Chain A
Amino acid sequence: MSACDIPSPFDPSLMAQSPGLPKSPEGEPAFPEPWAAEAFAMTVHLHEKGLFTWGEWALALSFELRRPGKADDGSDYFDSWVQALSTLIGEKGIADEPVIAALQKSWQRAAEATPHGKPIELANDPLR
């Protein structure tokens, strides 16, 4: 894929439909940590590829954001984002929750088993 094919994640209409998205003073999305930006980028990319409409996305995200027990200051906003993305990926038949959860554990074992300075790869999971 060439750079020209990369959709802009900054389509204002998409931003407007991501309820509660934390923004910088300049109005751009504010990501607390890199994984949040990656989750954001994956979501935009999948939407642009037609996997789901932004309406579907906003619905999934709103559902997660309305769950009880969420932080008052919105600091877990992207936790909800990632959960919504996981749910949509399940609903679209790409991978269901047990598969994702198993991979998540596998990545954590891989990270722990990787000496610092070496790239963390899934194959480093000793149980794989």
Chain B
Amino acid sequence: MHDDHDHSHDHDHDHPHDPGHHHDDDHHHDNHYSDMQARVRALETVLTEKGLIDPKAIDQIVETYQTRVGPRNGARVVAKAWSDPEFRDWLKRDATAAISSLGYSGRQGEHMRAVFNTEDTHNLVVCTLCSCYPWAVLGLPPTWYKAPAYRSRAVIDPRGVLAEFGLTLAETTKIRVWDSTAELRYLVIPERPEGTQEMSEDELSALVSRDAMIGTAIAGHASTGDGY
């Protein structure tokens, strides 16, 4: 099942899975640590060297946080897109502006693009090179999103990856894989579930999981989320 999706790489990275890419040396700023990022890494290094912390334990605490807090901002964006056709159009045209109109914007000035699932197209977001993620709308990325297994396999075998998440799509459904970058991040707008016409935006947003907005689940359905 390697030929039924198209790569939608908008960004010219040195990309191991995309033979059609171009090198672009203007992106060396992608690997840059802010003072705070570097300081936190420094603290982690000294604490690990002294045996005071186990980085895996820290990851697990962060994971606990992200499953508890969840991506409620993104869910509100999706619910509004389902309920408000004007907002939906705006989101299609200029997701960065539409999302920031709700008060959600990244501190790093990254741009957002909303990708809409349809009856015949399913969208899946990955960052093959690191773990670029739309923090402002989705909170912290799950550990699996940062794991090499997901980052490489989401591009090579998206259908297989989705199946591991418990999401089996019809053979005829096209899968588009979007590779996030430091400058451009994607939010999947899942399809509105059937039978939700009477629901308020608040009720609708409760149907939208983090995984549905990454594309490893669909709205109104829980994902196992532990494929990795």
Residues of A in contact with B (beta carbons under 8 Å apart): 1, 3, 5-10, 24-26, 28-42, 44-46, 49, 51, 75, 78-79, 82, 85-86, 89, 94-95, 99-101, 103-108, 111-112, 114-117, 120, 122
Q: When chains A and B are docked, how far (Å) is the Cα of A62 from the Cα of B31?
A: 33
Q: When chains A and B are docked, how far (Å) is the Cα of A82 from the Cα of B44?
A: 11
Interface of B (DSSP majority class): helix
Contact (Cβ within 8 A) A82 B62: no
Contacts of B155 in A (CB 8 A): none
Q: Pick the contact of A117 from B15, B33, B107 — CB < 8 Å?
A: B15
Contact (Cβ within 8 A) A42 B47: yes
Total residue contacts A-B, CB cutoff 8 A: 155
Contact (Cβ within 8 A) B36 A82: yes
Contact (Cβ within 8 A) A26 B69: yes
Contact (Cβ within 8 A) A6 B50: no
Interface of A (DSSP majority class): helix
Residue of B nearest to A93 (CB): B50
Q: Pick the contact of B46 from A24, A32, A75, A99 — CB < 8 Å?
A: A99
Interface footprint category on B: 35 or more
Q: When chains A and B are docked, how far (Å) is the Cα of A7 from the Cα of B58?
A: 10
Q: When chains A and B are docked, how far (Å) is the Cα of A35 from the Cα of B140?
A: 10
Contact (Cβ within 8 A) A24 B31: no
Q: When chains A and B are docked, how far (Å) is the Cα of A85 from the Cα of B96?
A: 34
Q: B32 to chain A: closest CB distance in Å?
A: 6
Residue of A nearest to B141 (CB): A34
Contact (Cβ within 8 A) B30 A116: yes
Residues of B in contact with A (beta carbons under 8 Å apart): 13-16, 27-28, 30-47, 50, 52-54, 56-58, 60-62, 64-66, 68-69, 72, 107-108, 128-130, 135, 139-141
Residue of A nearest to B46 (CB): A95
Contact (Cβ within 8 A) A116 B129: yes
Q: B129 to chain A: closest CB distance in Å?
A: 4
Residue of B nearest to A44 (CB): B61
Contacts of A40 in B (CB 8 A): 61, 65
Q: Pick the contact of B43 from A89, A115, A120 — CB < 8 Å?
A: A89
Contact (Cβ within 8 A) A28 B61: no
Q: Pick the contact of B38 from A1, A3, A86, A105 — CB < 8 Å?
A: A105
Q: Pick the contact of A111 from B38, B54, B135, B140 — CB < 8 Å?
A: B38
